[in-house]
Amino acid sequence: MNYINLLSENSYKESVWYKRIRSGIVSKTNHRRDVILDLSPEDIAGMEKDSVLLIVGFSQRFLSEAVDLCFAHGVRPLIVGSALTHSADQHISFVAIKREAAMYENVANLFNSGCRHVAMIGVNPQVSTDVSHKEGYVQAVTEHGCADYEKDIFYNTLGINKAIDSFIEVRENYDAVVCNNDFVAVLLLSRLNELGVKVPEEISVTGAGNMDFCEWTEPSLTSISIPLESAGKSAVVLYRILLENPELDSLSSSFDHDIIYRESTKASDQSRITIRVSHHDFSPLLDADYENDMRRVWAVADTYSTADETDRRILRGILDNISNSGLAEKNYISESTLHYRLNKLYKSTGVSGKSELKTLLKKYFPHYNC
């Protein structure tokens, strides 16, 4: 058997982002010959010298400690989808995603479409992805003459709702806002809709991650598409190369992004630019315990990502006010099976019943369609 050693940050494992990376790793393995070994930091001391360890995490502390343990025991670290922000060590392997370049292009395109004052919401200085996105934002706005950019960044140090509240107080100063991830953008769009602010006529909004639910918001959300599954697949390829070549200290690969334009921005095809900036700062987005204010949005996204077609049709039926008996008949299942599935949906989305689930979907994803 071939063993693939994997160390994952515990608080990151329940996030959609981790599941995408893991899905890529699993899809690249041979289920008859390969076994993924989920290790703990304590297991590194028992690994063979010159062996390789895949590392998946989001916090600088976790990544730093994992790499230090690898070096202390002669293990070669391979970080997937993130990087040590301040590390210049050339003996760390990375599977890189060009997040800074992605945000730079996102902001530059907003300026190119006629926007003049672009804000940023959701930066937490302790989250490496937020730092990368901020750097891309800063580069773009300074190139467009916005030297005093700090006042335009609404930090998420006290919770995302407080950051959004601070932005709402001065929103008339801006004609565009970029969010560090799609979850922040969903919360912002909901607030703007409640206030009667027209998107994109009065303000353009973008997210990052290109989750399935970007098509269900009002209006549908422009977002940066980040190839996390591809990063997972590439990690397995690099892992095998390193394993077969113990003389290699490190290897790296990187992925470009794409921006998926939808109704939340005014950018036309002619105004969109394609600029690839050779910055290399990579990191994942969020972990499931990072921000309580976004927990319900996370729950819906995670439920959808793991639901089968029957559950997705049940969600659609709930929005269409179909009765339980009607839902059972429509999906060719018994009412007892329906109740079982409903209870699982209620538990996974954190609601108490059908009415609350319907309210949750309509609030954040009014155009949900299975």
Is residue 23 within 8 A of residue 229, CB to CB? The reply is yes
Specify whether 161 is located in the same domain as 240: no
Beginning with the edge strand found earlier in the chain, give each strand of the sheet holding 222-225 in spatial order.
153-155, 118-123, 176-179, 204-208, 222-225, 258-260
pLDDT single digits (tens) 168-178: 999 999 999 99
Residue 291 — very low, low, confident or very high, per pLDDT cuts 50/70/90? Answer: low
pLDDT single digits (tens) 7-53: 999 988 878 888 889 999 999 998 888 999 999 999 999 999 999 99
Specify whether 193 is located in the same domain as 241: no
Specify whether 82 is located in the same domain as 119: no
Question: Distance (Å, rounded) from C-alpha 236 to C-alpha 365?
Answer: 35
Residue 299 placed within a domain: no
Specify whether 103 is located in the same domain as 195: yes
Residue 56 placed within a domain: yes
pLDDT single digits (tens) 307-351: 899 999 999 999 999 999 999 999 999 999 999 999 999 999 999
154 has pLDDT over 80:
yes
357 has pLDDT over 80:
yes
Domain count, the chain: 3
| Percent over 70 (pLDDT), the chain | 91
- CATH number of the domain bearing residue 13: 3.40.50.2300
| Percent over 90 (pLDDT), the chain | 65
Specify whether 75 is located in the same domain as 107: no
Residue 270 placed within a domain: yes
- CATH number of the domain bearing residue 347: 1.10.10.10
210 has pLDDT over 80:
yes
Backbone phi, then psi, for 119, in 5-degree steps? -95, 170
Specify whether 87 is located in the same domain as 133: no
275 has pLDDT over 60:
no
Residue 6 placed within a domain: yes
- Domain containing 337 equals 307-364
The pLDDT of residue 115: 94
Residue 287 — very low, low, confident or very high, per pLDDT cuts 50/70/90? Answer: very low
Residue 163 placed within a domain: yes
83 has pLDDT over 50:
yes
Specify whether 172 is located in the same domain as 281: yes
Specify whether 91 is located in the same domain as 36: yes
Specify whether 248 is located in the same domain as 356: no
Specify whether 195 is located in the same domain as 271: yes
Q: Poorest-confidence range of 89-93, 161-165, 285-289, 357-361?
A: 285-289
Residue 281 — very low, low, confident or very high, per pLDDT cuts 50/70/90? Answer: very low
55 has pLDDT over 70:
yes
Which residue has tokens 């007892």?
336
Per DSSP (E only), the strands in the chain are 2-8, 34-39, 52-56, 76-80, 93-97, 118-123, 153-155, 176-179, 204-208, 222-225, 252-255, 258-260
Four-point Cα dihedral 94, 97, 101, 105, nearest 10? 170
Q: Poorest-confidence range of 78-82, 269-273, 354-358, 366-370?
A: 269-273
Specify whether 153 is located in the same domain as 279: yes
The pLDDT of residue 89: 59
Please state whether the peptide bond connecting residue 219 to the residue before it is cis, i.e. omega within 30 degrees of 0.
Answer: yes
The pLDDT of residue 358: 93
The pLDDT of residue 239: 94
- Tell which wins on pLDDT, 254 or 106: 106
Residue 175 placed within a domain: yes
Is residue 103 within 8 A of residue 132, CB to CB? The reply is yes
Residue 292 — very low, low, confident or very high, per pLDDT cuts 50/70/90? Answer: low
Is residue 189 within 8 A of residue 367, CB to CB? The reply is no
Question: Distance (Å, rounded) from C-alpha 223 to C-alpha 283?
Answer: 17
The pLDDT of residue 87: 55
Question: Distance (Å, rounded) from C-alpha 11 to C-alpha 6?
Answer: 15
303 has pLDDT over 90:
no
Residue 17 placed within a domain: yes
Specify whether 274 is located in the same domain as 131: yes
The pLDDT of residue 212: 87
285 has pLDDT over 50:
no
What value does the mean pLDDT take over residues 220-231? 92
Measured CA to CA in angstroms, residue 288 lies from 14, 162, 191, 237 at distances of: 6, 19, 22, 28
Residue 283 placed within a domain: yes
Question: Distance (Å, rounded) from C-alpha 41 to C-alpha 69?
Answer: 8
